Structure formats: C-alpha cells, structure tokens
Amino acid sequence: MGSINTSDFKKGLKVQLDGDPYLMVECNFVKPGKGQALYKCRLKHLIRGTTIDRTWKSGDSIESADVEEISAQYLYRQGDKFVFMDNESYEQYELTADQVGDTWKYVKESMVCGMVLYNGNPITVTPPNHVVLKIEYCEPGARGNTANNVTKPCKVETGAEFQCPVFVNIGDLIKIDTRTGEYLERAKE
C-alpha cells in the first residue's frame, strides 16, 4: 500500500486510518493567517458507515486503503446470506444481510452490481442507479381517481414494497431509482 500526501487529498479518496478503511467524503483546504496550511477532512468508515472529522497539516501523509471495486453478479439468496459472483474471476462472495442493507429491495437474480472489496473480502454492494422490477401485488386503483400524486403500496418481485401511482397494476414493470427508492416510470419489456 502506498502513502498519500496531503496535496493529493480529494473527495472520493479511499484511505486507511488505524487499520480501518475510510472514504474521504469532504476535504477543505484552510490557510490561517499564521502557520501551516491545514486540510480539514470528513471521513466515512467503509465497513461501519460512521463518519469522523480529522485535520492534517500540509506535508503530512496517510496510507491508501487496500480497496478494490469490481462488478459482481447477484446469484441467489440462501437464508440471510446473499451470494454474488465476480464477473471476471468467477469467484463467489457471500454477504450477510447487514452488509447488503437495503440493497436487497432492488437486486434480482443475474443483476450486475458494484462491489467493494477490502483486503479481498466484500464489504459493500451497490445496485445500478435504476432498476426495472415487476409488480407482484397491489390493490386496484379507484376508477376516476386522477388527483395528483395519489399513490398506493405495490409489492415487487424482490419482496420489497414501493409507493407507486394508482394507475399501475399487477404484472406491470416499473422503474425505481435505487438511490432514493422512488418510483420513476412504467417500463417497457
């Protein structure tokens, strides 16, 4: 692992502090009237998700994290384990429900997701920004109810529930934004 000088600090940098991987979420350069320039940074722990604030003087350096981002295909769910496969090496990775978090709502079999590995072990998985899911169950919409922004809960093929407009029906394909969990539009096959 290499070291990173403060002059190379920027948002999105992956660094290692006290043996743990962090993502640099924010980095501000501060030049006081007297003394050395400072770099005030906000870091997010890649495993726990907690954030910390740290300050470095110009000329300091920190270790870069041994973090790798790969494309992985979702294969199946076995109990509370989710199994993904690296598209290049065909190596399989098992993630716990805690590691997957709310991502389970959006992934279906054979979907390609982004995965972050730390020292060769998976720590997080990220679905594509938009996914198309099939509605398995929803209540029928009231006829003539065309008021703006009227929604109803719809259960999709992954088992998750999303708020959708009243005009969608069972069997429809809908497009969901995975960053916000919001309905975007009806999708074509």
Which domains are assigned to the chain?
3-64 (2.30.30.30), 67-126 (2.40.50.140), 130-187 (2.40.50.140)
List the chain pLDDT tens, one digit each, 189 residues.
578 888 888 888 888 888 888 888 899 988 888 888 898 999 988 887 789 999 988 888 888 888 888 999 999 988 889 999 998 899 999 988 888 888 888 988 889 999 988 888 888 888 999 999 999 998 886 666 556 678 888 999 988 899 888 888 888 899 999 888 888 888 876
Strand order in the sheet with 151-156: 161-165, 151-156, 130-138, 173-177, 182-187
Q: Which tokens belong to 99?
A: 């590691």
Return the H-helix or E-strand segment holding 96.
strand 92-96
Q: Which tokens belong to 105?
A: 């709502």
